[in-house]
Amino acid sequence: MTTYLIRAASVLGGERSDLYLADGVIAALGADAADAATTARADGVDVVEIDASTLIALPGLVDLHTHLREPGREDAETVASGTRAAAVGGFTCVHAMANTDPVADTAGVVEQVWRLGEDAGWAQVRPVGAVTVGLRGEQLAELGAMADSAAAVRVFSDDGKCVDDPVLMRRALEYVKAFDGVVAQHAQEPRLTQGALMHEGVVSAELGLTGWPAVAEEAIVARDVLLAEHVGSRVHICHLSTAGSVDIVRWAKARGIDVTAEVTPHHLILTDEAVRGYDPQFKVNPPLRTAADVAAVRAGLADGTIDIVATDHAPHPDEDKDCEFAAAAMGMTGLETALSVVVAAMVDNPEYDFDWADVARTMSTTPAAIGRVAEQGRPLEVGEPANLVLVDPDATWTVDPAALRTASENTPFASDELPARVIATFWRGRATVLDGEPRARTDVRA
């Protein structure tokens, strides 16, 4: 197996160090790295040297919220194409959401998705199991069987739909305690959002579009943190998007409730003003909110109220987006733009004390901990798994939807210039990306 000597990388944006990757781990650091590489060459081992003197090294990114669409919607994405896009974006692990066809509500389906990820070879795939059978919200799915399967599911979600029945939600929270699982809630009270197309506010009124009030999210967040407290279980809030939800999570954490929350990159930077052109690329669930909400979720991410950034990568084929706004599907791609958007919204924003170590915390270490992925989000130290990404913090790039590695082109950032670029990604010691380009292994599926 090829080994890698990474020269003078800034670890988490701090001191520079050499890293030597061999046998799937970080084999040596500092001066020892060059010595180890010299010894390896003498033994006939192939050593690739990478000049990282202008680059930052982070642990491989971990996405807790990815829609890979397979099985059932391979016209939008496959496990192979989605994880290839993930690697280009710096991710070494993604959690594949359950709203596939068939739904990932049995051990058989989650194992199929897990095996597709292993076969593809771009990044680790951790399937998310459905909370309810068929996402119908009527009875619990086979949570225990999915947890005991080869896929070792620990995150369960009906994402795309809310587990709106409080009795069913309570039972799910109680059930997952047995295997240290977590229920990830799509917080949307369905009766308050029927027919909603965008955030309810001044812009929706001016555009004549049915609005989705912030309280439809906040009511579920409030209910579920109280349920989690009542049963003593973990709960995770998907794609938190309102100032009120930030306040509720902050209150719950102060009370000692075991709640975590995520924000998407697009909710950190886009507002409902983007919908004024009726462009379906800006139609998303939950909807883009107000500038005040964006400021609140940024502040919440900076102060730790919001634990992680998760992409909610939601690819759609052209025909699902190239239509009138009301008929268009909700969702945006995000795996390849996530890191850059976070840098633009947080790292390069002087309003917040948010550095590259915070990027590692919110996009690698903490999501791995929430998902109970032991081999991901690890410190860049000797003996740790060689899952890492090299980023050029000074680079800029222009988003070209056709050039993205995902199978769909529904990005809201088309033609935007974004900061920071992934130069190399390593998963289990193998380079999945070098010089910004994906590097397939010989048995990888196209």
Positions at the binding site: 65, 67-69, 99, 159, 186, 239, 285, 312, 316
State the burial class of residue 251 (Cβ atoms within 10 Å of its Cβ: 0-12, 13-18, 19+): middle
Interior CA angle at 250 toward 249 and 254, to 5°? 115
Name 438's bridge partners. 433
Q: Could you give the CA distance from residue 332 to residue 123 in angstroms, rounded to a whole number?
A: 21
Task: List binding-site positions for substrate.
Answer: 67-69, 99, 285, 316
Please report the beta strands in 308-416, taking only residues with DSSP state E, as ranges in sequence order. Answer: 308-309, 388-398
Closest by Cα among 104, 65, 105, 123 to 261: 65
Count of Cβ atoms closer than 10 Å to residue 162 Cβ: 21
Q: Which two tokens stand for residue 361?
A: 């915390």
State the burial class of residue 167 (Cβ atoms within 10 Å of its Cβ: 0-12, 13-18, 19+): exposed
Count of Cβ atoms closer than 10 Å to residue 46 Cβ: 10
- DSSP letter, residue 363: I
Residue 298: partners with Cβ closer than 8 Å, 6 or more residues away: 268, 345, 346, 349, 351, 352
Residue 392: partners with Cβ closer than 8 Å, 6 or more residues away: 54, 55, 56, 420, 421, 423
Q: Which residues are catalytic?
A: 312
DSSP SS3 for 392: strand
Q: E strand or H helix at 150, and its extent?
A: none
Beta strands 235-237 and 259-263, pairing class: parallel
- DSSP letter, residue 102: S
Residue 109: partners with Cβ closer than 8 Å, 6 or more residues away: 71, 100, 102, 103, 127
Using CA atoms of 102, 108, 111, 116 in order, give the dihedral in degrees to the nearest 10.
-50
Count of Cβ atoms closer than 10 Å to residue 254 Cβ: 9
Q: Which two tokens stand for residue 149?
A: 């399967």
Residue 275: partners with Cβ closer than 8 Å, 6 or more residues away: 198, 203, 207, 209, 282, 283, 287, 288, 325
Task: List binding-site positions for Zn(2+).
Answer: 65, 67, 159, 186, 239, 312
